[in-house]
Amino acid sequence: MSQTKVVAGQDLREMFAAAGSWLEKSSAEIDALNVFPVPDGDTGTNMMLTMRSTMEEAYRAPDHSASGVAHAMAKGALMGARGNSGVILSQIWRGLAEGLEGRESFNATDLADALDKSAVIAYKGVSNPVEGTMLTVMKDAAAAARARVDAGDEDIIAIMEATVNAAGESLANTPNLLKVLRDAGVVDAGGQGLYTIFEGAMRYLRGETELMRLRKPQIIVSETPHVASLTAAAGVEEVPFGYCTEFLLKGEKLDAETIKKRLLKKGESLIVVGDETAVRIHIHTLTPGNVVQFATKLGTMHQVSIRNMDEQHQDYLEMQKDRLPTTDTAVIAVASGDGLADVFGSLGAAAVVPGGQTMNPSTKDILQAVESTFSDKIIILPNNKNIILTAEQVPALTEKKVKVVPTRTIPQGVVALLAFDYEAEFNTNADIMTKALAAVKTIEVTRSVRTTRINGLKIKKKQPIGLLDGDLVAAGETNAEVIHKLLDRLDLEKAEVVTMYYGAEAEAAEAEQISASITKEYPQLQVEVIRGGQPHYSYIISIE
């Protein structure tokens, strides 16, 4: 994969525009992570709306340098920040802007510096920073970027990959740092939003915009099991929540630090950020009138929101009585190759068991994944005909409810997971996913391990060969020739999407060339190329 050593201002804008759209796809799932006892609005929605305001300002900016775009993003985020998470996000963009000050474009070192600055300013904006929140995720992500740059890496894509990986690990660890998350068995919602934003930016830089259009972001699963019921928790908490009060204060010669000191004793979860002309204030208080009275003496209030969190909390508890957890059923997939593991993870698989052709996992391997997964209801996707029987031994070995959807190929596993319905119950989901398998055709391209004759084909050792839904039906001199022979055997009139997963031994350049040749011959098809990283198979291709 080619390296990216410099990013210009317009690409900075586009990468975070893509990140905002990526976040929007999962805002409802992030909302669902909002947990008792902090019913502070809807984190996913708040961050999404903050990102909209961020990017609207970025597109209005007359200065298209990296510095100009970053400053416009910071301004848009401050003016449109929603909720605690939105205000913190605005400070992350402020840090990015300060880190990129005066730069027409930026390199890996500049990016690491800017992320460091984002972490520092985000912490500074919160009156009582709490670990196990999006602040921690930002700090750990920035530290990973810095470590990669200090090791001599100049590739911005690699820096962003390190940032995203560290953010994901930090997010998964948030329940170990914050009891409320540990009790609820979920990760921090704001941290999830930040992870999703960074992941979206990374995917844009890697050229995966088509993949982003067809897929959904991964919701990181808590490593800690749910240990406290909502009912029990509700019985413990007797302190009133009060009112979530937030507004934009406009005036002259405003001093955010002085305002913060004056409001410290008026409530909790205080955030005061801004400049001399506009300050964003967020506070949880039992007496919002006192806060409003204080603020009106300093300037004019805009975008005022005062929400009764006690009512929100009661509504939340009532909603939970009739609602199954979003993680009621977990899906475990078998796949070989880090790229394919990322694909299944991004689609919502709770775990990916390493395995595939020539590396079949044992019953014990799959059972361990089942037992370590948070849910008591598990659907297994073997993704290989030789693993189906092994997977079918697992249900009898565990007290959990387990069903095996008999996926014989990676593309079947992908369409099965795409068909998963978060609102459907366990048995219905297994049926839906099984029925979805007929919607995809699978091409696999590898090299013959010996000279042979089979199915009317005379095959030489190491010659490229192709399988269609598991049947060896084509051979050729090149991978491209084999792929086109197999495509010619299919009725593609009703097909819409061709997805090519190129393996560990294939080159990205060749994959792109084959993709272009398919598009030329079949212009009605949408072709996307994804690094699968799988061994043995140069290409695994899905036709839907």
The mean-pLDDT minimum among 344-353, 373-382, 404-413 falls in 344-353
With a pLDDT cut of 70, the percent of the chain lying above it is 90
Same domain, 94 and 160: yes
Across the range 191-204, mean pLDDT stands at 95
What pLDDT shows up at residue 52? 93
Q: What is the CATH number of the domain that holds 298?
A: 3.30.70
Same domain, 339 and 313: no
pLDDT band at 39 (very low <50, low <70, confident <90, very high): very low
Residue 222 predicted with pLDDT over 80: no
Contacts of 223 by beta carbon, 8 Å cutoff, 6+ apart: 172, 173, 175, 176
The mean-pLDDT minimum among 321-325, 514-518, 531-535 falls in 321-325
Same domain, 354 and 399: yes
CA–CA dist 423, 329 (Å, integer): 10
Across the range 134-153, mean pLDDT stands at 96
313 belongs to a structural domain? yes
Tokens of 334: 């078998």
Same domain, 60 and 156: yes
Residue 358 predicted with pLDDT over 80: no
Tokens of 544: 């839907």
1 belongs to a structural domain? no
pLDDT tens by residue, 391-409 = 999 999 999 999 999 999 9
Nearest-10 crossing angle of helices 508-521, 479-488: 30
With a pLDDT cut of 90, the percent of the chain lying above it is 56
358 belongs to a structural domain? yes
**Residue with token string 């198979």:** 537
285 belongs to a structural domain? yes
Q: What is the CATH number of the domain that holds 500?
A: 3.30.1180
Same domain, 232 and 260: no
What pLDDT shows up at residue 334? 93
Helix, strand, or coil here: 429?
helix
Same domain, 265 and 227: no
Contacts of 215 by beta carbon, 8 Å cutoff, 6+ apart: 343, 346, 347
pTM assigned to the model: 0.57
What pLDDT shows up at residue 38? 41
Last residue of a domain, one of 439, 469, 496: 439
pLDDT tens by residue, 160-191 = 999 999 999 999 899 889 887 776 677 888 99
Contacts of 285 by beta carbon, 8 Å cutoff, 6+ apart: 242, 243, 245, 266, 267, 268, 291
Last residue of a domain, one of 184, 202, 236: 236
Same domain, 516 and 418: no
Residue 366, class by beta-carbon neighbours within 10 Å (0-12 exposed, 13-18 middle, 19+ buried)? buried
Residue 236 predicted with pLDDT over 60: no
pLDDT band at 134 (very low <50, low <70, confident <90, very high): very high
135 belongs to a structural domain? yes
Cβ atoms within 10 Å, residue 320: 15
What pLDDT shows up at residue 314? 63
The mean pLDDT of the chain is 86
What pLDDT shows up at residue 316? 53
Q: What is the CATH number of the domain that holds 378?
A: 3.40.50.510
Tokens of 446: 């590898």
What pLDDT shows up at residue 365? 86
How many independent structural domains does the chain possess? Answer: 4
The mean-pLDDT minimum among 9-23, 37-51, 517-531 falls in 37-51
324 belongs to a structural domain? no
What pLDDT shows up at residue 234? 36
Cβ atoms within 10 Å, residue 397: 14
Residue 225 predicted with pLDDT over 70: no
Residue 381 predicted with pLDDT over 90: yes
Query: In terms of Cα–Cα distance, which of 249, 247, 246, 256 is closest to 121?
Result: 256
Same domain, 459 and 434: no
Same domain, 354 and 450: no
2 belongs to a structural domain? no
479 belongs to a structural domain? yes
pLDDT band at 51 (very low <50, low <70, confident <90, very high): very high
Distance, C-alpha 542 to centroid of its chain:
23
Query: In terms of Cα–Cα distance, which of 190, 170, 189, 164 is closest to 89?
Result: 190
pLDDT tens by residue, 105-131 = 999 999 999 999 999 999 998 888 889
Same domain, 347 and 469: no
Distance, C-alpha 262 to centroid of its chain:
38
Q: What is the CATH number of the domain that holds 120?
A: 1.25.40.340
What pLDDT shows up at residue 187? 86
Query: In terms of Cα–Cα distance, which of 478, 246, 259, 429 is closest to 328?
Result: 429
pLDDT tens by residue, 407-435 = 999 999 999 999 998 778 899 999 999 99
pLDDT band at 214 (very low <50, low <70, confident <90, very high): confident
Same domain, 13 and 159: yes
CA–CA dist 177, 185 (Å, integer): 12
Domain limits for position 403: 329-439
Last residue of a domain, one of 236, 263, 278: 236
Same domain, 118 and 209: yes
What pLDDT shows up at residue 150? 96
Across the range 197-223, mean pLDDT stands at 84
